[in-house]
Amino acid sequence: MRRDLGSEERSWSQEGPRDKESWAWVVLVATMVAQGLTLGFPVCISVFFTELQHEFQASNSETSWFPSILTAVLHAGGPVCGVLVEQFGCRVAVMAGGLLAGLGLVASSFSRSLSQLYLTAGFITGLGASFTFQASITILGYYFSRRRALANALASAGVSIGLTLWPLLSRHLLDSLGWRGSFLVFGGVLLNCCVCGAVMRPLKASPPEHAAGPPPPAALRGCLWACGRALQRYLAFDVFRHNRGYRIYTLGVVWMVMGFVLPHIYLVPYAMRHGVDPARAALLISIIGFSNIFMRPAAGLLAGSPACAGRRIHLFSLALLLNGLTNLLCVTSADFRVLVGYCLVYSVSMSGVGALIFQVLMDIVPMDRFPSALGLFTVLESCTILIGPPLAGEGPGRRGLCGATGGAGAPPGMTSSQPPGTCQAPPDPGGRDRPSPTPPAGATAPSAPSPSLPGTTGRWH
């Protein structure tokens, strides 16, 4: 297998630079589709949130563990993806990820408990999505050097397209097939990541340079030393220790994402609990995605302009500040028109963050260390992504939780996201925040779960 891949690399490396440049745009389109499938899918879980609560009789916190595990594993799979990329190449990693993500969702359609859903649609699908997403980002960095900022922005526009289409498709399939049938269809959709990986021709890249040093003593040539070498190779702890910019940026983003992902999970159930029609509530996520289709390329062009050279980290910080201030809007009212305005402004900040987050990382670390730096970056991100939504769902009436989920951006103290579900979601009369058929006393707006529709009981029809 490795011999065939190596011969393919050598034959492709003999092609002319014009052929490589032409094929780079094909790889860019494939990366856009792969990112739209893998990063767009977790957002549509909010459409199924209330339905999963009814199906498994679970609280907000218990249900939110599903998208938390999915998103956290998607980010934490970087080191394993790094091993796959080094041994077999980006093409195999992307195709293996698509196969794993599709099989995980197909298996989740037969889940009889939340724990089974955590394992299948959470862990297995998240791991496959991680392979596809991170391997596609890596190969894009090798194909584009001079126009890397624009390429990253265009690739992230695929996420925007996914954000636009996934919620609308989810609402339609939920009404027609229920959540089980929807997940079965989604499993087949994610298999298209294998097609995206098939067109990613490998480029022959120079091997990463590791710091030379005296060979370790014979006593250390054991499992402990091997583990240490593997950690240094796939998790850039040495870069984290010696590169001050990478250290500050990573810690800032890790704190920021605790609140950044929460509106994607709680916005739809938050709107539904305040009387917004389920179809219109799902449209809110699509509004964010549709706006991002135009905003992200514009942000990439701005970041790639000569005037912004060396100032991308400042643009990223401004986007985070706008993101945190925007989330204060949804606290004022749960009216649909106010939420639409919130989504439009939020999409501006989200497009800046999405277009710049990996470009800033590429500016901070050398490209030959980027896979390992990305691995550590995403592993640390996954820790706060994992605990953020369950903490927010634990007590939606607690005001102090809003401040806890606000993050710090790249510069310390930069305000980040404050999720709508943690500020104004109606408290549960029973204290466990379970869905109730009657509105809680004192609620300012109707607070009832979505009406039962044909095909929305979680069973196939």
**DSSP class per residue in 357-421:** HHHHHHHHS-GGGHHHHHHHHHHHHHHHHHHHHHHHHH-TT-THHHHHH--B-SSTT-B----GG
Q: Report the C-alpha gap between 245 and 254 in whole angstroms.
A: 14
Residue 133 pLDDT exceeds 60: yes
Confidence tier at 413 by pLDDT (50, 70, 90): very low
Give the pLDDT of residue 41: 85
Q: What is the pLDDT of residue 2?
A: 43
Q: Is 172 exposed, middle or buried, given 0-12, 13-18 or 19+ CB atoms closer than 10 A?
A: middle
Higher pLDDT, 221 or 56: 56
Using DSSP's 3-state secondary structure scheme, residue 159 falls into helix
Instruction: With beta carbons less than 8 A apart as the criterion, state whether 102 and 190 touch.
Output: yes
Residue 432 confidence (pLDDT): 43
Q: Are 374 and 246 in contact (CB under 8 A)?
A: no
Rounded percentage of the chain residues whose pLDDT exceeds 70: 73
Q: Give me the amino acid identity at 98.
A: G
Counting beta carbons within 10 angstroms of the beta carbon of residue 195, is it exposed (0 to 12), middle (13 to 18) or buried (19 or more)? middle
Residue 414 or residue 130, greater confidence: 130
The larger pLDDT score, comparing residue 173 to residue 409, is at: 173
Contact residues for 135 (Cβ-Cβ < 8 A; gap 6+): 81, 84, 85, 90, 93, 94, 97, 197
**Fold for domain 18-204+226-234?**
Growth Hormone; Chain: A; (1.20.1250)
Model pLDDT, residue 444? 39
Mean pLDDT to the nearest integer, 257-275: 83
Separation CA 91–CA 31 (nearest Å): 11
| pLDDT score at 297 | 76
Higher confidence at residue 22 or residue 130?
Answer: 130
Interval 296-310 mean pLDDT: 75
* pLDDT score of 128: 92
- Looking at residue 406, its pLDDT comes to 39
Query: Highest mean pLDDT: which of 45-59, 119-133, 286-300, 426-440?
Result: 119-133
Tell me if 211 sits within 8 A of 236, measured CB to CB.
no
- Helices marked H in 41-147: 45-56, 60-76, 78-88, 90-108, 114-117, 125-143
User: Which amino acid would we find at residue 126?
Assistant: G
> Where is pLDDT greater, at 382 or 116?
116
pLDDT at 322 over 90: no
pLDDT classification of 453: cutoffs 50, 70, 90: very low
Please give the mean pLDDT across all residues of the chain. 74
Are 190 and 37 within 8 A, CB to CB?
yes
- Higher pLDDT: 155 or 110? It is 110
pLDDT at 456: 36
Burial string for 395-409 (b: 16+ CB within 10 Å, else e) reads bbeeeebbeebbbbb
pLDDT for the residue numbered 120? 93
Measured CA distances, 283 to 165, 212, 277, 279 (Å): 10, 55, 10, 6
pLDDT at 231: 67
pLDDT higher than threshold 90 for residue 355 = no
Q: State the Cα–Cα distance between residues 387 and 31, nearest whole angstrom.
A: 29
Question: With 50 as the cut, is the pLDDT of residue 420 above it?
Answer: no
- Average pLDDT of the residues in 204-208: 48
| Average pLDDT of span 109-131 | 91
Is pLDDT of 439 > 50?
no
Give pLDDT, residue 105: 92
Domain residue extents for the chain:
18-204+226-234, 235-389
Q: Which of 168, 61, 187 is nearest to 125 (CA)?
A: 187
pLDDT at 118: 92
So what's the pLDDT on residue 19?
Answer: 54
Identify which of 66-80, 200-214, 291-305 has the greatest average pLDDT.
66-80
